[in-house]
Amino acid sequence: MPARRSPPPWSVEDIGAAFVVKYSSGQKLAYVYYEEMPGRRSAAKLLSQDEARRAKHSLIPLLKLKPTSAQNEVR
């Protein structure tokens, strides 16, 4: 019998003008903004929705990394 996989500890939500990547605890990790109108997109230097979708998928390997003790220190 294959091993059961648990769902990832993060989720991605499309809020209309951005993708929000957040942990299961609700902490928001990243906002990836996009604009579908080319004129507005270039003026604001935003990504298209497809580019933003690819960018959020690029974040997944980073989320799999375990933080080091130095990253856990409060400054």
Least confident of 3-7, 20-24, 43-47: 3-7
Residue with tokens 């974040």: 59
Segment 21-48 mean pLDDT: 84
Residue with tokens 């989720």: 11
Global confidence as pTM = 0.60
Length of the chain: 75
Q: Give the N- to C-terminal CA distance of the chain in Å, as an integer.
A: 47
Per-residue pLDDT tens over the stretch 38-71: 887 877 788 888 988 888 888 777 777 655 554 4
Provide the residue ranges of all domains of the chain, joining segments of one domain with +: 10-66
* Two structure tokens written together for 29: 């990790």
Query: How many angstroms separate the CA atoms of 63 and 67, rounded?
Result: 9
Contact between 33 and 46 (Cβ < 8 Å): yes
